[in-house]
Amino acid sequence: MALLYRFTKLNDRFNTGIFTFIVTRSVTRDLHRDATTKDFYYGYHRWAISFTRANDRALGVFLILRNPSPSTKCYADFTLTLLNREHFSRNEQHQEKQCKFTTEHTTQVREFYFQLTKTKKNPALFIIIINL
């Protein structure tokens, strides 16, 4: 499970929102169970984060647009950051620009995986930050 820990809204020209999730050990332990966060609202849309285990060393993280109306085309710039609790130089980041969400494609198209071996000392708990 991933719990929404903090929301910060930046007063910049892009109307950026920063969502911080704490990911519990159930996501990293169970290979056969995917986890999805509770829905959160931003930009008049409902969003969620999904965690998928590809193998025992990688964790896929996906941004999902929930229940878009039939003619909705939503373009989002977002960044997903995995904070390494051991040292900041081992943080991992993935950025998407102009990612299109529609009723047919409610999840981001490109797949990427965070390597769990880099959080070897304490893989039970890590932090995901999303900039929307």
pLDDT at 109: 46
Which residue, chain included where needed, has tokens 């900039």?
Answer: 131
pLDDT at 22: 82
> For residues 123 and 39, what is the distance between their CA atoms, to the nearest angstrom?
25
- Residues whose CB is less than 8 angstroms from the CB of residue 89 and which lie 6 or more positions away in sequence, other chains included: none
Task: Give the SS3 label for residue 119.
Answer: helix
Do 25 and 125 meet the contact criterion of CB atoms below 8 Å apart?
yes
- Residues whose CB is less than 8 angstroms from the CB of residue 87 and which lie 6 or more positions away in sequence, other chains included: none
pLDDT at 36: 86
Q: How many Å separate Cα 78 from the centre of its chain? A: 9
pLDDT at 18: 87
Domain count, the chain: 1
pLDDT at 46: 93
pLDDT at 124: 42
What mean pLDDT, rounded, does the chain reach? 78
User: Domain holding 45: CATH number?
Assistant: 2.60.210.10
Task: Give the SS3 label for residue 19.
Answer: strand
Domain hosting 86: range is 2-131
What residue ranges of the chain have pLDDT lower than 50? 109, 123-125
Nearest to 34 by CA among 22, 20, 23: 23
